[in-house]
Structure 1
Amino acid sequence: MKYMIDYKIRHGVGHEQNFNTAEGLITAFSKWKPEDGLNVHAFVSNLVGDAGYVLVETNNPTVILSFVSKFTFWNDIQVHPVIDVAEVIPVTTGSVDWARKASKA
């Protein structure tokens, strides 16, 4: 299953706290490698450098937990299960057909 993870780095109250957060996160990230069973399709950042997205795939949701829980000390993180649009179209087509029929008296 695929998951889109969005993250935002928490900002502190002052410059020194922000510097410490950035340095700690950079150091931790330099030691990270993807967990076994985690296929990272894309790992991108916004142009400010304080948020981004990670598109991953795994058959084991605990692998996602293992990944994101390492970085929750610095980031606010959301995990969204996703599927390819090509898989959505036939389901949506069937749903539209059903809804049209169901809405008629």
Structure 2
Amino acid sequence: MTEGYYLAAFIAVTALATFATRVVPFLFFERHTDHPLIKHLGRFLPAAVMALLATVFLQRSGNWGAGAFGLDALIPGLLVVAVHLWRGNALLSIATGTIAYMAIQQTGMMVAGA
């Protein structure tokens, strides 16, 4: 087989696996939406996932050894929280934080000694 066939097979298997992970919950849990466990997960899981993502972001993205001690990640993170509390719009909050983080990274504003 040539490289093209491997690539096509990889894309097909990946697409099938992605589709399966999206459709399985609807097939198996359609009749169980009133179950207390499903309601509990629906209420608390999104916040837990966001907290985990924020923790990983702060650990991986922040320049903790610089003179600004991680402000390059803390400022956009706090901006996301502030905008979300102010407007209640997740898309606006994430976009604002992403723009702020990329602006800091691209301009080098929080580099050691700056």
Q: Output the TM-score relative to the length of structure 2.
A: 0.24
Q: Which has the higher contact order (CA 8 A, sep 6+)?
A: 1
Larger Rg: 2
Structure with the higher fraction of residues in strand conformation: 1
